[in-house]
Structure formats: structure tokens, C-alpha cells
Chains A and B, each alone.
Chain A
């Protein structure tokens, strides 16, 4: 008889404890983000696809040494440059990234001696067409600085 009542009261008490917890949570602020309207700030070490870094004038820092192209195990990177008349340095004319093959290994970023390549924080990538993942990084750089 004692067990019967003690079970009822301990059960009832556990229900009250549970309800207290949910009531406290009810008045706490939201912890979710309202995704399309708000976005998460990606952490510093997040690896998106690579992106060129600009110098102070908005031109790419890249000197077209081709180390990233050689370092890439999957052959994702194709870059071209030319030497304008009267200049000592090469100037980048095209930097293509085929992101469909990229495994984000980071060898290109490690191999760059001029600090010209970085990881982007881009994570909203979705498409049904392969061509959408062939990025023209030089054009993206110009778009960012225009």
C-alpha cells in the first residue's frame, strides 16, 4: 500500500519537474537562426572554395608563378598571365577553378608564396548544372572590388 502511494507521488513530482524545465526553456531566447534572412558567420578555419586576394589597388596579388596549378592533385586550377610591355612582372589574365573536382585539400593555399590565395567562406552552393561550379576567380575578384 505504501509503495502504491509513493509511486503515485514520486511520479507526479517527476512530471512537475519536467514541466518546470520546459517552462523555463519557453521564456529563454531563440537559439536558431532564421536561415534565408540571417546567416551564420563562418569560423576562421572554414574551408570554402579558394578565392584570390587583392592588393591595396584591388588588383590580384598573384604573380602567375603557377605553383598552385602544379600543387593541385586534381588539376582543378588553370591560370594564364602575360607580361605587359615595359613591365617586369607578369599580370594575371585568367584564373579558372573547376570546383567539381576540388577536394578542398588546401595544397594550393599552402604552396602560394605570395599570399594570393585564400579559402572563401562560401557555403551556399547548390545547382543542377555542372557549369555553375566552373568559377572564374579573376572575375569574382573584380566583382567584389567594383
Chain B
């Protein structure tokens, strides 16, 4: 396929529209989910079932004054929210939604997503540092230590999957899992290997993507009871809005990656009605689980958070890596 300017333009517009629509309506889903779990209706006033709530919230945020407090590092302060949003949009370029629907497939797609994914920790650090606010500073330090701790088991698990598929191409990884749900990477029996640790691998990856997106129960970066609002304490108007949308866009990326690496991407469980809807069904199920987890568990402490990563997730994922390598060598 030749990449003309128009092709790129259309791909970028679709990616931004998909991210923005998801970010806006996931807030609505989140509030509805929280409502139903707590046995109340959630937003209902604006439009049918409160469906007009996200655009109304957006208008409210945009009409607010964009305050830049005195004494902040202005350039870094302004760049940070943009940096929180834009890597996630870029990541969508290489995510394959189905056989045909992918903006630009490349053989190092997985690597690219992780490169851009690690930039969001940078955005949090910049926001916290430039705010000249103790709470924002502590929050960003926490966010970075968390990101570093959870990136390791996430990458080790990813390496396991890459070894099984023999490629970093996301399309290739999905194709390797085709032909029935028992070929998916989440199950012990795939591609002739009998690796009993694969379900745990899936769990580790899922927990890490929760932690990487700073979601509850790992949202220590924005622990309201201790840190006001964390790294975005000093942000108002759309500056805050971008952080907020970036968080939800990151959730979508996390769900997409989990689906591609472990749940067989757009592959349908029984070979029925193949198409992009299977992919969407899987990512929205995972996103529902994200919301479900957030409204079930209380926030952990920073110590137990780091303990979980260094003492449990990293050893198990490393052991799984060794086991997979051994099995690949034997079979």
C-alpha cells in the first residue's frame, strides 16, 4: 500500500476520533458502572440515560479559565498534558482491529506501542515536577516508581508471547492464535506447548496494564485523601481534561494489547461471523473488567504495591519466560 498524504490524514483523523469518543464515553460508562455497583442510577439528567453528559462536561471544561500558577516551569507545565494524550493516539496507528482495519501495520508494532506507552510516565513526572506543588511532586514520584516497577513484569510477559509467536508484528501474533479459542495464548495448550503458567501470564499482564494506566486499586498517583488530586492538582480547564482523556485512552490501549497478545485479537471463538466486532467485544469486556475492579477494591498502599510487583509478579513472569524458552527448545 502506498502511503499518500490523504491516507495518513484519514488514518490520523479516525484515530483521534476513536480515542476522543472512547475517552468521553468511557467516563460515562465508568459513572454508570459505579452507579449500578452501588445500586444507584448514575447520570440520568442530560439526555436519554445521561448520554449527553460527556459533551456537556467537555463544554464545561473548555469554557473554564486555563490557569497557570505563578512560579511554575511554564514550558514543561504546558507540554505535560499534551504528552499525556498524544503517545496514546500514536499507538493506535499500529493496532490491528481486524485483518483489514489497521492504519499502518509494521513488523515492530509491539515495540512501538511500548516505546510510546512509557512516555506517559514521563508526562506525569513533568506535570508533577513543573507544578511547584508538594503534593504533585510526591504523586509524580509515586507514579514513576510504579511505572518502572510494573513495566518489568509487563515486558517480560510480552517477551514470552513474542517468543511463542516468533514475531513483534501484532498481525502475526494474532494470526498465530487463529483457528479456535483453544489456540489463544491465555490457555496452557497452544502451538503444541503445554505451558501451565500461561493463564497466570495473562493475569500478570492484566494487573500490569491496570497499574500502568494508574487505575484503582493502583491509583496512588491521585490518592485524593493524601495528595489532593496528585499530579494534576494545579491544572484547570482542558489541561486537566487532557490528563483525564489520556487516562481513558490508555485503558483502551491496555485492553487492545491484552486482547491481541492473549485473547486472539479479532479471532472468533468458534469460527463464527469473523470480523472486527469480536475484537470490539473483547476489548469492551476487558474495559468493563477495569471499571468493575475499580469499584470493587480499595486503594493499596505504596509498599504493598511495590511488594506485589517485585516479590510476586517479576519472579513468576521470569519463571514463565524460562519455562517457555525451555519448552520451545524441547518441542
Interface residues of A (CB under 8 A from B): 8, 15, 18-19, 21-23, 25-32, 34
B312 touches A23 (CB 8 A): no
State the CA gap A128–B36 with chains docked (Å): 36
Using A25-B37, A26-B36 as known contacts, say yes or no to A34 and B295 having CB atoms under 8 A apart. Answer: no
Produce 1/0 per residue, B34-51, CB < 8 A to A: 001111110010000000
A22 near B292: Cβ-Cβ < 8 Å: yes
CB distance from B323 to the nearest CB of A (A): 16
Asked if B105 is an interface residue, CB under 8 A from chain A, the answer is no
Beyond the given pairs A30-B40, A31-B40, 18 more chain A to chain B contacts, judged by CB atoms under 8 angstroms and listed by A's residue number, are A8-B312, A15-B297, A19-B292, A19-B293, A22-B292, A23-B292, A25-B36, A25-B37, A25-B39, A26-B36, A26-B292, A27-B36, A28-B39, A30-B39, A31-B39, A32-B39, A32-B41, A34-B41
The smallest C-beta distance from B257 to any residue of chain A, in angstroms, reads 22
Query: In the bound complex, what is the Cα–Cα distance between A8 and B203 (angstroms)?
Result: 13
For A27, list chain B residues within 8 Å (CB): 36
Q: List 30 A-B contacts (CB under 8 A).
A: A8-B312, A18-B296, A19-B292, A19-B293, A19-B296, A21-B296, A22-B37, A22-B292, A22-B295, A22-B296, A23-B292, A25-B36, A25-B37, A25-B38, A25-B39, A26-B33, A26-B36, A26-B37, A26-B292, A27-B36, A29-B39, A30-B39, A30-B40, A30-B41, A31-B39, A31-B40, A32-B40, A32-B41, A34-B41, A34-B44
Within the assembled complex, what's the spacing in Å between the Cα atoms of A18 and B37?
Answer: 12
Q: What is the interface of chain B, defined by CB distance below 8 A to chain A?
A: 33, 36-41, 44, 292-293, 295-297, 312
**Using Cβ atoms and an 8 Å threshold, which residues of chain A touch B297?**
15, 18
**Residues of chain A with a CB closer than 8 A to B38's CB:** 25
- How many whole Å from A128's CB to the nearest CB in chain B? 25
- Enumerate chain B residues within 8 angstroms of A15, measured Cβ to Cβ: 297
User: Which chain B residues lie closer than 8 Å to A21 at the CB level?
Assistant: 296
Per the bound structure, the CA–CA distance linking A30 and B42 in Å amounts to 10
Give 5 closest A-B pairs by Cβ, nearest first. Answer: A32-B40, A22-B296, A31-B39, A26-B36, A22-B37
CA distance A18 to B293 in the complex (A): 9
Question: A23–B289 Cα gap in the complex (Å)?
Answer: 10
Residues of chain B with a CB closer than 8 A to A32's CB: 39-41
Taking the nearest CB of chain B, how far is it from the CB of A32, in angstroms? 4
Q: Bound complex: CA of A32 vs CA of B38, how far in Å?
A: 10
Chain B residue numbers with a CB within 8 Å of A18 are 296-297
Across the interface, name the chain A residue whose C-beta is closest to B40. Answer: A32
Min Cβ gap A53→B in Å is 38
CB-CB nearest in chain A for B312: A8
Q: Which residues of A contact B296 (CB under 8 A)?
A: 18-19, 21-22
Q: Which residue, A18, A22, A29, has most C-beta atoms of chain B within 10 A?
A: A22
Chain B residues with CB under 8 Å of A30's CB are 39-41
A31, B35: Cα distance in complex, Å: 11
B283 to chain A, nearest CB (A): 19
